[in-house]
Amino acid sequence: MASTIGTAQLMTITDETLPGLACLSTDDFKNHRDNFLAKMANNSMAFFPAAHEVTRSNDTEFSFCQNKNFYYLTGFNEPDALLVLLKKDHVEQAILFSLPKDKNQEVWHGRRVGQEKACQEYGIDQCFILDEKSERITQYLNGLTQVYFAFNDANIRQTVFDLLAQVSAKSRQGFKVPTTLVDANPIIDELRLIKSENEIALMRQVNYISCLAHKRAMQKARAGLFEYQIENEILHEFTYHGARHAAYATIVASGDNANILHYTNNDNKLKNNDLLLIDAGGELAGYAADITRTFPINGKFTQPQKILYQLVLDAKMKVIAAIKPGVTFAKLNEIANECLTKGLLELGILSGDLAHLLQEKACKKYFIHGLGHWLGLDVHDVGDYQIGAEKTQLRQFAAGMVLTIEPGLYFVPMLMKEISGHKDVNWDKVAEFQPYGGIRIEDNIVVKQGGIENLTR
């Protein structure tokens, strides 16, 4: 059964630099619902399902993770529930269907909120047990014109089609079935893309906790330990400060493992002269941090390690300095491309004409992933990067957006083979630096009216 992720478990943070303990209130979740309702047509209904528990093996489950859209609109953390938003004759209502109170189930699996408390504590207008779902929703749907649901979710698609079929089956009794289906995702994605002050406060806090975890990992790292032992130090620090879960599988990649972007085996031994790349972020009240640091296991960079690291750091700093409202990811990519390509040329890893190398984006053989992404309830958060009817327009940054910036340099054997005969490559230099990639540095940035706030200080 699910545990609470709303306001709980934040009491261990005592650092005076954190003004108060962030959490989202009932009003925040109501605001989210009101914002979605404002986008709905009159005489329509929107469906948002909670997540189901997922089997790990036989009769044990993975730890529960709520559906993020459902969470954004309710703060409710039980599985299998269904939120419907109803706008009828311009009157707006939030209606929740959830698991019934059940003494036996609750003794085995944990407490359930129940319908009465769901209304009182979550600000929901009406709440019913799940068994009443079909009967009640077919009544609500009668006479409406539009329904909204996530088109990419097969389960809710089936639920909605079944409900519409039930309304349709009552046509002889005068029931009228809605005929327009609207994808809810683009609407809620746009809302989630712009974070409120309270959401940002929460993300500031989970970044702070995640920074503590990275610091602990740096303090504990030494040759002879296994990568998973460092992972354990990170998870300890998350949990100790109230971030009960990692926002994504923690990456602790020593030496050459750092060239595997989503390396999560974490089962190699740390070696004395290697670098250690850690990509780890906690999840606090549903919100993610996504931070990467790369550092020498023995505490001291060798000269080539230092040179590569400095280049990635320079790229990160230059890109972050350029972020403000109106700027696009395309512009930031230009800056990263210029910085890394110039740097690789100066090191002799690339050779040839700078203008040509820039045009070719020659650094992309070494910087092999995107520069950043939106961050929020999901680590790779929702929101289109290109907008407009044709999805060809670059989205400009606006106040309230939160994004990662994560330049890196890698020496992936397959790509190295591909370029080994290339005229712009000095293979001796590649071979000289190859043992010291991959390196990635990743910060989380809030776009503000006047510029930015870097959450990862």
Pairing of strands 451-454, 126-129: unpaired
Residue 406 near ligand GLY by CB under 6 A: yes
Residue 138 near Mn ion by CB under 5 A: no
Size of the site for Mn ion (CB under 5 A): 5
279 is catalytic: yes
Q: Which residue lies nearer to ligand GLY by CB, 10 or 375?
A: 375
Residue 248 near ligand GLY by CB under 6 A: yes
Residue 102 neighbours by CB distance under 10 Å: 13
401 and 254 Cβ atoms separated by less than 8 Å: no
Residue 274 near ligand GLY by CB under 6 A: no
The pair of three-digit structure tokens given for residue 205, joined into one six-digit string: 């806090």
Residue 279 near Mn ion by CB under 5 A: yes
Sheet holding 402-405, edge to edge: 402-405, 443-448, 451-454
425 and 419 Cβ atoms separated by less than 8 Å: yes
Residue 443 near ligand GLY by CB under 6 A: no
Distances (CA, A) of 38 to 29, 46, 92, 191, 218: 14, 12, 9, 11, 47
290 is catalytic: yes
Q: Which residue lies nearer to ligand GLY by CB, 10 or 455?
A: 455
The pair of three-digit structure tokens given for residue 352, joined into one six-digit string: 């040839």
373 is catalytic: yes
User: From the candidates 256, 381, 406, 443, which is the catalytic residue?
Assistant: 406
287 binds, among ligand GLY, Mn ion, none (CB under 5 to 8 A by kind): none
59 is catalytic: yes
Contact residues for 8 (Cβ-Cβ < 8 A; gap 6+): 242
Nearest Cα to Cα of residue 231 among 248, 211, 217: 217
Q: Which residue lies nearer to ligand GLY by CB, 153 or 406?
A: 406
Least Å distance between CB 379 and ligand GLY? 6
Least Å distance between CB 247 and ligand GLY? 8
Residue 290 near ligand GLY by CB under 6 A: yes
Grouping H, G, I as helix, E, B as strand and the rest as coil, residue 394 is strand
Contact residues for 263 (Cβ-Cβ < 8 A; gap 6+): 251, 253, 257
18 and 207 Cβ atoms separated by less than 8 Å: no
What is d(CA 60, CA 137) in angstroms, rounded to the nearest whole number? 32
User: What mask of x and - would describe binding to Mn ion in positions 280 to 299, judged by CB under 5 A?
Assistant: ----------x-x-------
Stretch that binds Mn ion, among 40-48, 100-108, 109-117, 396-404 (CB under 5 A): 396-404
Q: Which residue lies nearer to ligand GLY by CB, 82 or 379?
A: 379
381 binds, among ligand GLY, Mn ion, none (CB under 5 to 8 A by kind): none
Give the residues lining the site for ligand GLY (CB under 6 A): 248, 279, 290, 379, 406, 442
Residues belonging to the active site:
59, 262, 279, 290, 369, 373, 380, 406, 410, 440, 442
Give the residues lining the site for Mn ion (CB under 5 A): 279, 290, 292, 404, 442
